[in-house]
């Protein structure tokens, strides 16, 4: 990039001198239309349970979802993402509860669609909240069995679509699952259901609080590095993205978010496809605890979210959705 002009005829501070001028020339902005709110659901009745590792985030029983959904409506957040906290007695090696038409996700989809039909619903397709070992797929003597896992994931995706889910979001990182799920959805007259693929999902240290939130942390045996991506790699991410697009992904996800802004930028520039970013639990909690202990101020929330937009993210899955929506409403 060639820069024209020089000091003193060029003084870039002139366009920073007033707030109204800074607003006029801002290159990136955030609105509630950019936000997706994750919601954790637990079993039981009449319970709202705080998650200690994620200050300000709760688990809701299905009958208490109105408490948070009314806020979603109030702030006009376009979509929610649903995640279950599955009781231990409903977990097994195959993640069978994922296929139960009366599981927490299915009940929640039906309630939200009945009472809040204008809100989009995104559902994870993965087995880790349901398996006794905490992995995203079926284990055999060699590790995660890719192809056997896909057979279950396809059934899970179809069940979610039947319940009314709008966006199917495979987060499992199995090879080939996008194409097979797309074919199954189309065959069953779900051609209009979108697929949001977690295409660039890294084996990250930032997932700890989430695993606590869905109850898989204590169950996880070994790590997920044989299927989630190596954080040292970028070309691998672009290969994953390219394959998922060919298989039928409508939108792709980068997860985690802030450590991978370069991946978001390059996907947006080279693939010309909607890119969502997931500001994951570890990112959220680091900022929240930093604010709590006065290490940073709460302007860091907006700064972190604008970073995603600057990198090229079309939307952001963030636990800050309600907080920032309230702030944006006051601006």
DSSP character string of 166-192 = SEEEE-S--TTHHHHHHHHHHHTT-TT
For the chain, give the mean pLDDT: 95
Give pLDDT tens digits for 13-59. 888 999 989 989 888 999 999 999 999 999 999 999 999 999 999 99
pLDDT of residue 1: 75
The average pLDDT across 96-112 equals 98
Contact (CB, 8 A) for 201 and 171? yes
- Would you say residue 324 lies in a domain? yes
Q: What is the pLDDT of residue 5?
A: 84
CB 146 within 8 A of CB 172: no
Q: Alpha carbon of 260 to those of 40, 201, 254, 268: distances in Å?
A: 25, 10, 7, 13
Each residue of 128-149: pLDDT tens digit?
999 999 999 999 999 999 999 9
- Please give the pLDDT value at position 124: 97
Q: pLDDT at position 4, please?
A: 80
Please report whether residue 63 resides in a domain.
yes
Burial of 49 (0-12, 13-18, 19+ CB in 10 A): middle
Distance CA 171, CA 122 (A): 12
In a domain, 79, yes or no: yes
Q: Which residues are catalytic?
A: 201, 255
pLDDT at 167 over 80: yes
Range of the domain at 50: 30-330
How many structural domains is the chain composed of? 1
Residue 304's pLDDT is: 97
Select from 86, 31, 99 the least CA-distant residue to 302: 31
Residue 195: inside a domain:
yes
SS3 for 223-273 is: CCCCCCECCCCCHHHHHHHHHHHHHCCCEEEEECCHHHHHHHHHHHHHHCC
Q: What's the CATH number where 281 sits?
A: 3.20.20.70
Question: What is the pLDDT, as a whole number, of residue 95?
Answer: 96
Which pTM value belongs to this model?
0.94
Instruction: Give domain status of residue 60, yes or no.
Output: yes
Placement of tokens 């139960």 in the chain: 100
């Amino acid at each position: 990039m060639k820069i024209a002009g020089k000091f003193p005829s060029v003084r870039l501070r002139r366009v920073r001198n007033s707030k109204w001028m800074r607003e006029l020339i801002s290159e990136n902005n955030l609105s509630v239309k950019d936000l997706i709110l994750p919601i954790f659901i637990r079993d039981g009745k009449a319970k709202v349970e705080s998650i200690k590792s994620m200050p300000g985030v709760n688990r809701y029983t299905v009958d208490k979802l109105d408490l948070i959904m009314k806020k979603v409506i109030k702030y006009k957040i376009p979509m929610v993402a649903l995640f279950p906290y599955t009781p231990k007695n409903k977990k097994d090696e195959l993640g069978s509860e994922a296929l139960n038409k009366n599981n927490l996700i299915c009940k929640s989809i039906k309630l939200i669609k009945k009472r809040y039909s204008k809100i989009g619903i995104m559902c994870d397709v993965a087995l880790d909240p349901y398996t006794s070992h905490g992995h995203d797929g079926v284990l055999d003597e060699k590790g995660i069995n890719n192809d056997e896992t896909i057979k279950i994931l396809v059934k899970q995706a179809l069940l979610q679509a039947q319940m009314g889910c709008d966006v199917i979001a495979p987060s499992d990182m199995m090879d080939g699952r996008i194409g097979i799920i797309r074919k199954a959805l189309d065959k069953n007259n779900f051609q209009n259901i979108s697929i949001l693929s977690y295409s660039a999902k890294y084996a990250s240290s930032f997932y700890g609080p989430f695993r606590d939130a869905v109850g898989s942390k204590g169950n996880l045996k070994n790590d997920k590095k044989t299927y989630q991506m190596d954080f040292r790699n970028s070309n691998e991410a672009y290969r994953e993205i390219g394959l998922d697009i060919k298989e039928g992904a409508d939108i792709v996800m980068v997860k985690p978010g802030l450590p991978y802004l370069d991946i978001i930028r390059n996907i947006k520039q080279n693939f010309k496809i909607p890119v969502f970013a997931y500001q994951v639990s570890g990112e959220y909690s680091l900022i929240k605890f930093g604010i709590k202990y006065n290490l940073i101020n709460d302007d860091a929330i907006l700064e972190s979210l604008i970073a995603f937009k600057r990198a090229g993210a079309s939307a952001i899955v963030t636990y800050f959705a309600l907080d920032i929506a309230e702030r944006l409403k006051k601006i």
